A and B are shown apart, each in its own frame.
Chain A
Amino acid sequence: MRVAAIRSDSLPRSPGEGQGGGVLAIILLISLCWPLQGTAATVIASKVFTESVILAEAGVQLLQTEGQPAEHRKELGGTRILWSALLRGDIDCYPEYTGTLRVEIFASQTLQDDQQLLAALAAQHVWASRPLGFNNTYVLGMRREQAQRLGIDRLSQLAQHPELRFGFSNEFLQRQDGWPGLRDRYRLPQTDIRGLDHDLAYRGVASDAIDVTDLYSTDAEIAHYDLVALADDAKFFPAYDALFVCRDSVAPAVRDSLNRLANTIDASRMSKMNARVKLEKQPEASVASDFLREAFSVHATQTTDTRWSRIAKHTREHLAMVAISLIAAILVATPLGALAFYRPGFGRVAFLIADVLQTLPALALLVFLIPWLGIGYAPAIVALFLYSLLPILRNTHAGLAEIPRTLRESAAALGLSAAARIRLIELPLAARSILAGIRTAAVINVGTATLGALVGAGGYGQPILTGIRLDDLGLILEGAIPAALLALVAQAGFAAIERRWVVAK
Chain B
Amino acid sequence: MIAFENVSHAYINNDQALVNDDKATVAALVDVSLRVEVGECVAVIGPSGCGKSTLLRLAAGLIAPDRGRILINDLELRPDTLMQARQRIGYVIQSGGLFPHLNALDNVALAARYRKREPKWIEARIAELAELVQLPVATLSRYPKDLSGGQRQRVSLMRALMLDPDVLLLDEPLGALDPMVRHGLQEELRSLFARVHKSVLLVTHDMAEAAFFSRHIVLMRSGRIVQQGAYEDLALAPTDAFVSEFVRAQRLPPPAVRGRE
Q: Which residues of A contact B (CB under 8 A)?
A: 1-10, 344, 406-407, 409-417, 420, 424-425, 428-429, 431, 502-505
Contact = CB atoms under 8 A, between A and B. Distances in A.
B245 to A, nearest CB: 29
A342 to B, nearest CB: 12
A422 to B, nearest CB: 13
B62 A406 contact: no
Given A4-B63, A429-B99, A344 B18 contact: yes
A8 B62 CA distance: 12
B10 to A, nearest CB: 8
B4 to A, nearest CB: 16
Given A9-B79, A413-B91, A407 B97 contact: yes
Contacts of B18: 2-3, 344
A411 B99 contact: yes
Interface string B23-61: 000000000000000000000000000000000010011
A407 B82 contact: no
A160 B258 CA distance: 126
A199 B205 CA distance: 84
Nearest to B89: A413
Contacts of A415: 83, 86-87, 89, 111, 114-115, 163
Contact of A413 (B62, B79, B115, B143): B62
Given A3-B18, A4-B12, A409-B93, 5 more contacts: A6-B79, A413-B91, A414-B91, A502-B101, A505-B101
A333 to B, nearest CB: 21
A434 to B, nearest CB: 13
B114 A412 contact: no
B145 A505 contact: yes
Nearest to B86: A415
Nearest 9 A/B pairs, CB to CB = A410-B97, A415-B86, A8-B79, A413-B91, A6-B64, A414-B111, A505-B100, A428-B101, A413-B60
B95 A3 contact: no
Contacts of A412: 60-62, 86
Interface in B93-138: 93, 95, 97-101, 110-111, 114-115
Nearest to B78: A6
B110 A424 contact: yes
Contacts of B100: 429, 503-505
Nearest to B98: A410
B86 A414 contact: yes
Contacts of B17: 3
Contacts of A504: 100, 145
16 contacts: A3-B18, A5-B62, A8-B79, A8-B80, A344-B18, A406-B93, A410-B91, A410-B93, A412-B86, A413-B61, A416-B110, A416-B114, A425-B99, A431-B101, A502-B101, A503-B143
B15 interface: yes
B63 A6 contact: yes
B61 A414 contact: no
A244 to B, nearest CB: 62
Contacts of B12: 1, 3-4
B154 interface: no
